[in-house]
Protein backbone atom coordinates (compact mmCIF):
# COMPACT_ATOMS: atom_id res chain seq x y z
CA UNK A 1 0.00 0.00 0.00
CA UNK A 2 1.62 3.31 -1.11
CA UNK A 3 1.25 5.08 2.25
CA UNK A 4 4.31 7.30 2.06
CA UNK A 5 3.53 8.96 -1.32
CA UNK A 6 0.03 9.81 -0.08
CA UNK A 7 1.49 11.40 3.06
CA UNK A 8 4.02 13.37 1.04
CA UNK A 9 1.32 14.61 -1.33
CA UNK A 10 -0.73 15.75 1.65
CA UNK A 11 2.20 17.72 3.07
CA UNK A 12 2.89 19.28 -0.34
CA UNK A 13 -0.74 20.38 -0.57
CA UNK A 14 -0.58 21.99 2.88
CA UNK A 15 2.72 23.77 2.20
CA UNK A 16 1.46 24.97 -1.18
CA UNK A 17 -1.74 26.32 0.36
CA UNK A 18 0.11 28.07 3.21
CA UNK A 19 2.64 29.80 0.97
CA UNK A 20 0.02 30.67 -1.64
CA UNK A 21 -2.11 32.39 1.00
CA UNK A 22 0.87 34.36 2.34
CA UNK A 23 1.75 35.55 -1.17
CA UNK A 24 -1.79 36.52 -2.12
CA UNK A 25 -2.34 38.35 1.17
CA UNK A 26 0.91 40.29 0.78
CA UNK A 27 2.48 38.78 3.90
CA UNK A 28 5.24 37.56 1.59
CA UNK A 29 6.06 40.63 -0.48
CA UNK A 30 6.75 40.70 -4.20
CA UNK A 31 10.41 40.06 -4.88
CA UNK A 32 11.07 38.55 -1.43
CA UNK A 33 13.50 35.65 -1.34
CA UNK A 34 12.19 32.29 -0.19
CA UNK A 35 15.16 30.50 1.41
CA UNK A 36 14.25 26.83 1.51
CA UNK A 37 16.12 25.95 4.70
CA UNK A 38 14.42 28.72 6.70
CA UNK A 39 10.98 28.09 5.19
CA UNK A 40 11.19 24.36 5.84
CA UNK A 41 12.05 25.02 9.49
CA UNK A 42 9.26 27.57 9.91
CA UNK A 43 6.69 25.25 8.33
CA UNK A 44 7.97 22.18 10.16
CA UNK A 45 8.52 20.14 7.00
CA UNK A 46 11.43 18.68 5.08
CA UNK A 47 12.79 20.39 2.00
CA UNK A 48 11.37 17.71 -0.34
CA UNK A 49 7.67 18.73 -0.06
CA UNK A 50 8.73 22.40 0.12
CA UNK A 51 10.55 22.14 -3.22
CA UNK A 52 7.50 20.51 -4.82
CA UNK A 53 5.22 23.23 -3.42
CA UNK A 54 7.53 25.93 -4.79
CA UNK A 55 7.46 24.26 -8.22
CA UNK A 56 3.66 24.35 -8.14
CA UNK A 57 3.68 28.01 -7.19
CA UNK A 58 6.13 28.72 -10.01
CA UNK A 59 3.75 27.01 -12.42
CA UNK A 60 1.00 29.36 -11.20
CA UNK A 61 3.21 32.40 -11.74
CA UNK A 62 3.43 33.25 -8.04
CA UNK A 63 7.06 32.23 -7.54
CA UNK A 64 10.17 32.65 -9.68
CA UNK A 65 12.79 29.88 -9.61
CA UNK A 66 16.28 30.87 -10.70
CA UNK A 67 19.34 28.58 -10.97
CA UNK A 68 22.02 29.38 -8.40
CA UNK A 69 19.73 31.92 -6.71
CA UNK A 70 16.71 30.01 -5.48
CA UNK A 71 13.08 31.00 -5.19
CA UNK A 72 11.57 34.47 -4.90
CA UNK A 73 8.02 35.78 -4.84
CA UNK A 74 7.25 36.81 -8.43
CA UNK A 75 7.35 40.53 -9.15
CA UNK A 76 4.12 42.18 -10.18
CA UNK A 77 4.18 43.07 -13.88
CA UNK A 78 1.56 45.71 -14.65
CA UNK A 79 1.90 45.09 -18.37
CA UNK A 80 1.19 41.43 -17.78
CA UNK A 81 -1.81 42.37 -15.64
CA UNK A 82 -3.22 44.43 -18.49
CA UNK A 83 -2.76 41.44 -20.80
CA UNK A 84 -4.50 39.23 -18.24
CA UNK A 85 -7.38 41.71 -18.07
CA UNK A 86 -7.71 41.55 -21.86
CA UNK A 87 -7.68 37.76 -21.72
CA UNK A 88 -10.50 37.85 -19.18
CA UNK A 89 -12.58 39.82 -21.68
CA UNK A 90 -12.10 36.96 -24.13
CA UNK A 91 -12.92 34.19 -21.63
CA UNK A 92 -15.48 35.39 -19.10
CA UNK A 93 -18.31 37.02 -21.11
CA UNK A 94 -18.79 33.99 -23.40
CA UNK A 95 -18.47 31.72 -20.35
CA UNK A 96 -21.32 33.63 -18.71
CA UNK A 97 -23.47 33.07 -21.79
CA UNK A 98 -22.64 29.34 -21.76
CA UNK A 99 -23.39 29.20 -18.04
CA UNK A 100 -26.77 30.84 -18.61
CA UNK A 101 -27.57 28.18 -21.17
CA UNK A 102 -26.56 25.37 -18.79
CA UNK A 103 -27.58 26.88 -15.43
CA UNK A 104 -25.63 24.40 -13.25
CA UNK A 105 -26.91 24.87 -9.72
CA UNK A 106 -23.60 24.11 -7.99
CA UNK A 107 -21.71 26.85 -9.86
CA UNK A 108 -24.57 29.34 -9.47
CA UNK A 109 -24.66 28.60 -5.73
CA UNK A 110 -20.89 29.27 -5.56
CA UNK A 111 -21.45 32.63 -7.23
CA UNK A 112 -24.22 33.53 -4.76
CA UNK A 113 -22.08 32.53 -1.77
CA UNK A 114 -19.19 34.64 -3.08
CA UNK A 115 -21.45 37.69 -3.39
CA UNK A 116 -22.71 37.27 0.17
CA UNK A 117 -19.17 36.84 1.51
CA UNK A 118 -17.96 39.96 -0.29
CA UNK A 119 -20.82 42.02 1.13
CA UNK A 120 -20.20 40.72 4.64
CA UNK A 121 -16.47 41.47 4.91
CA UNK A 122 -14.74 44.67 3.79
CA UNK A 123 -11.21 43.41 4.37
CA UNK A 124 -9.39 43.71 1.01
CA UNK A 125 -7.83 40.23 1.20
CA UNK A 126 -11.15 38.57 2.03
CA UNK A 127 -12.98 40.66 -0.56
CA UNK A 128 -10.39 39.73 -3.18
CA UNK A 129 -10.89 36.04 -2.43
CA UNK A 130 -14.66 36.45 -2.75
CA UNK A 131 -14.32 38.38 -6.00
CA UNK A 132 -11.97 35.76 -7.43
CA UNK A 133 -14.31 32.98 -6.34
CA UNK A 134 -17.27 34.63 -8.08
CA UNK A 135 -15.46 34.92 -11.39
CA UNK A 136 -13.97 31.42 -11.23
CA UNK A 137 -17.43 30.01 -10.46
CA UNK A 138 -18.85 32.00 -13.38
CA UNK A 139 -16.35 30.39 -15.76
CA UNK A 140 -16.91 26.97 -14.17
CA UNK A 141 -20.61 27.34 -15.00
CA UNK A 142 -19.64 27.10 -18.69
CA UNK A 143 -18.86 23.42 -18.15
CA UNK A 144 -15.61 23.77 -20.11
CA UNK A 145 -12.63 22.61 -18.00
CA UNK A 146 -10.11 24.28 -20.34
CA UNK A 147 -11.72 27.68 -19.84
CA UNK A 148 -11.76 27.04 -16.10
CA UNK A 149 -8.05 26.17 -16.08
CA UNK A 150 -7.13 29.28 -18.09
CA UNK A 151 -9.24 31.47 -15.81
CA UNK A 152 -7.57 30.06 -12.70
CA UNK A 153 -4.13 30.83 -14.12
CA UNK A 154 -5.16 34.42 -14.85
CA UNK A 155 -6.72 35.04 -11.45
CA UNK A 156 -4.35 33.21 -9.13
CA UNK A 157 -1.08 34.66 -10.31
CA UNK A 158 -1.95 38.06 -11.68
CA UNK A 159 -4.39 39.75 -9.33
CA UNK A 160 -2.75 41.07 -6.15
CA UNK A 161 -4.27 42.47 -2.98
CA UNK A 162 -2.43 45.76 -3.59
CA UNK A 163 -4.00 46.23 -7.01
CA UNK A 164 -7.38 45.09 -5.76
CA UNK A 165 -7.27 47.56 -2.87
CA UNK A 166 -6.55 50.42 -5.28
CA UNK A 167 -9.43 49.33 -7.52
CA UNK A 168 -11.76 48.97 -4.54
CA UNK A 169 -11.11 52.61 -3.65
CA UNK A 170 -12.75 53.69 -6.89
CA UNK A 171 -16.27 55.15 -6.88
CA UNK A 172 -18.73 52.67 -5.39
CA UNK A 173 -16.02 50.30 -4.21
CA UNK A 174 -16.72 46.62 -3.73
CA UNK A 175 -20.40 47.23 -2.92
CA UNK A 176 -20.92 48.34 -6.53
CA UNK A 177 -19.06 45.23 -7.71
CA UNK A 178 -21.39 43.03 -5.66
CA UNK A 179 -24.39 44.73 -7.27
CA UNK A 180 -22.92 44.04 -10.70
CA UNK A 181 -22.22 40.44 -9.73
CA UNK A 182 -25.81 39.98 -8.61
CA UNK A 183 -27.10 41.30 -11.94
CA UNK A 184 -24.89 38.85 -13.82
CA UNK A 185 -26.05 35.97 -11.62
CA UNK A 186 -29.71 36.94 -12.08
CA UNK A 187 -29.31 36.88 -15.86
CA UNK A 188 -27.64 33.48 -15.72
CA UNK A 189 -30.33 32.04 -13.44
CA UNK A 190 -32.96 33.37 -15.86
CA UNK A 191 -31.21 31.64 -18.75
CA UNK A 192 -30.63 34.98 -20.50
CA UNK A 193 -27.27 34.30 -22.13
CA UNK A 194 -27.10 37.51 -24.15
CA UNK A 195 -27.64 39.70 -21.08
CA UNK A 196 -25.26 37.64 -18.94
CA UNK A 197 -22.55 38.01 -21.58
CA UNK A 198 -23.14 41.76 -21.98
CA UNK A 199 -23.19 42.46 -18.22
CA UNK A 200 -20.02 40.45 -17.67
CA UNK A 201 -18.20 42.32 -20.42
CA UNK A 202 -19.37 45.69 -19.09
CA UNK A 203 -18.35 44.69 -15.55
CA UNK A 204 -14.81 43.78 -16.57
CA UNK A 205 -14.40 46.84 -18.79
CA UNK A 206 -15.59 49.06 -15.93
CA UNK A 207 -12.76 47.87 -13.67
CA UNK A 208 -9.46 47.82 -15.58
CA UNK A 209 -6.15 47.19 -13.82
CA UNK A 210 -4.69 50.30 -12.23
CA UNK A 211 -1.08 51.42 -12.46
CA UNK A 212 -0.46 51.24 -8.73
CA UNK A 213 1.23 48.76 -6.46
CA UNK A 214 2.84 48.91 -3.10
How do residues 88-102 score in pLDDT, each as one tens digit? Answer: 999 999 999 999 999
- Domain with 53, as residue range(s), is 3-73
100 and 124 in a common domain = yes
pTM greater than 0.85 (yes/no): no
User: Residues 150-159: pLDDT tens digits?
Assistant: 998 888 666 6
For range 63-75, the mean pLDDT? 88
Structure-model confidence comparison of residues 159 and 7, the more confident one: 159
Is residue 211 domain-resident? Answer: no
Burial class (CB in 10 A: 0-12, 13-18, 19+), 38: exposed
Is residue 159 domain-resident? Answer: yes
66 and 84 in a common domain = no
The pLDDT score that the predictor gives to residue 106 is: 97
Is residue 150 domain-resident? Answer: yes
Average model confidence (pLDDT) across the chain: 86
Kindly state the helix (H) or strand (E) to which residue 112 belongs, with its residue range: helix 105-120
The pLDDT score that the predictor gives to residue 75 is: 80
Contact indicator for 128, 121 with CB cutoff of 8 Å: no
User: Among residues 28, 58, 73, which one ends one of the domains?
Assistant: 73
Beta strand 70-73 pairing with 63-66: antiparallel
The pLDDT score that the predictor gives to residue 22 is: 86
What's the structural domain count of the chain?
Answer: 2
Amino acid sequence: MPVRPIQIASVVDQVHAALREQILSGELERGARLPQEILAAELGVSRTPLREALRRLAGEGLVTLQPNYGATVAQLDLGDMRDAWTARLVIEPPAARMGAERRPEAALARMQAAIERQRADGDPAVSLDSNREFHLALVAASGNPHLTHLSELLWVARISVAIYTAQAAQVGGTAAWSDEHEAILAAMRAGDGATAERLTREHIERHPPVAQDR
